[in-house]
Structure 1
């Protein structure tokens, strides 16, 4: 069995021809807004050298000093105009208030960027972007992951952030991003994924490939990794996965398979309670119980 470091290197290499991991980055503050509870900075980040990346950084207004922070990954839902607005405005499939405010009320800062093809980055369609990148040896998911890893780099430059208390979370596409990021980068101390811990083989068994967007598919991935093997790279760091029993994007047989394997791995690390899979009587959405469990998990581990 290869070491976790070797496995992370292989997983990263599957993401295609990526920009230099250490290229200089810059940030421009576009605006700053305040409410009674929340400070919202709109930023423009140079992360990848191709196009600048709009982002929101938020923090609780009444807190000072170095804050724990959540790198929030927005979802897909086929709604390309939403992007990072989900973080500050919410969306019908999620609970109120929006996560930016909910996290601020719990004492956390947050950062959310527009992913490729979403929000203010709709320069071409997702499918056309995937095709063009493929011609250049790039993988759309790889470029998405790269941007979020560089966003993590940016967070560590801020003097109002505690670099030892960084979590990542998201729903749907954002869920997948959360567990990929946590698997690849040990600076992420806590991972919360909501409604998209999908076992690849179970998805094949249920003929569910069409349920996920083109961004989801990484060339040669199944030759090297299962979903459980990627998530094992997060251990022994705390990881909460929330799923809906009736969500076709995460077949139950696959969730059970992942859970069984990760339970063994976390036991081997003497951290059996740091991995938790919770299944709710719902579909592809965030319920009040899910929201409460997310905040309780962050409170315990972050």
Structure 2
């Protein structure tokens, strides 16, 4: 066999058969337990956990919310800059959301800010300012700067000054030399962000949700699968199959978790969120996460939620759009889930 295409197709089929045989030999509960443990292992990072030691960097009172810039510790000496968006009004025991941005210029992009930190008075881009939209609906919103984006790029990328650039390729490649998956580091930092969020006196730790777009959807999906503190999750422009999305078109290297297809296809991993609330949003013309395989993922999730007798906790909105945040149904759904939990 000279052709790598045929080889790769055969490899996918052989791993699909292996996964099928494993499932046949165990109960549904045993499968879920095994998948969660293996996903936990795949995303683990061999770094010491740091104390949070949060520090307030900035506090700005705006017309409809308060914006704080904070930092907190995660692993191996890393500290995460993040925005905390606080609604006006009573602030104790509020529902809260971990908002994870996708590829772009970082935490500012979903917080109503331009790359230089000034307020964006123009039309939102494909991210849709979803952190801003959520705080305006009464939720406390934590927006961490994802490792490799915005202020957390490598020095060479920061000095190049290209707006929206990232350090994903170099970070992912170099981290693999240490056996650390970039996706794993980002997910573990998201879990530390939850730790920080739970310390805020404004937040009810029993009512925390997550909203992730695109690459932020990956972080949000895996963090939600691993941590039951996340009561409700919105995945925008992400839910699909590995075969139909990251194996179908060229994707950023940060989407690839070593050994993932030996564990499960993507819908099975997302299904670990069940029976907790989950909302899937996707544009019908999204070229990166195609609708045809997104529908296959949704059908799998519908079966999973039916098995868990939690059909009412799964929401889906396939809208006429591209790779973008819509929010028309997702925003009110998330508010309802967290306020009525």
Fold match by TM threshold 0.5: yes
Which aligned pairs between 1:131-142 and structure 2 lie closer than 5 A?
131-142=173-184
Corresponding residue pairs, total? 289
Which aligned pairs between 1:1-302 and structure 2 lie closer than 5 A?
1=26, 2=30, 4-20=32-48, 23-76=50-103, 79=104, 82-89=105-112, 91-95=124-128, 98-124=129-155, 125-203=167-245, 207-208=248-249, 210=250, 212-286=251-325, 290-302=326-338
CA distance in 2, matches of 1:63, 1:16: 38
CA distance in 1, matches of 2:66, 2:173: 39
2:99 and 2:141 in contact (8 A); partners too:
yes
Q: TM-score, normalised by structure 2?
A: 0.80
CA distance in 2, matches of 1:156, 1:260: 34
Could you tell me how far 1:204 is from its partner in structure 2?
A: 6.6
| Gaps in structure 2 of 5+ consecutive residues | 1-25, 114-123, 156-166
CA distance in 2, matches of 1:222, 1:169: 25
Q: TM-score, normalised by structure 1?
A: 0.90
* Max Rg structure: 2
Could you tell me how far 1:224 is from its partner in structure 2?
A: 0.8
Structure 1 17/176 Cα, relative in aligned 2: closer, same or farther at 3 Å? closer
1:169 and 1:175 in contact (8 A); partners too:
yes
Q: Which moved more, 1:180-189 or 1:274-283?
A: 274-283
Could you tell me how far 1:99 is from its partner in structure 2?
A: 2.5
1:168 and 1:190 in contact (8 A); partners too:
yes
CA distance in 2, matches of 1:264, 1:140: 31
Q: What is the DSSP-based 3-state SS (H/G/I as helix, E as strand, rest coil) of the residue aligned with 2:210?
A: strand
Could you tell me how far 1:23 is from its partner in structure 2?
A: 4.2
Could you tell me how far 1:3 is from its partner in structure 2?
A: 5.5
CA distance in 2, matches of 1:202, 1:46: 36
CA distance in 1, matches of 2:263, 2:78: 31
| Gaps in structure 1 of 5+ consecutive residues | none
Q: What is the DSSP-based 3-state SS (H/G/I as helix, E as strand, rest coil) of the residue aligned with 1:203?
A: coil
Q: What is the DSSP-based 3-state SS (H/G/I as helix, E as strand, rest coil) of the residue aligned with 2:60?
A: strand
1:40-60 Cα offsets, whole Å, 9 max, x none, are 111111111232111111110
Q: What is the DSSP-based 3-state SS (H/G/I as helix, E as strand, rest coil) of the residue aligned with 2:135?
A: helix
2:50 and 2:73 in contact (8 A); partners too:
no
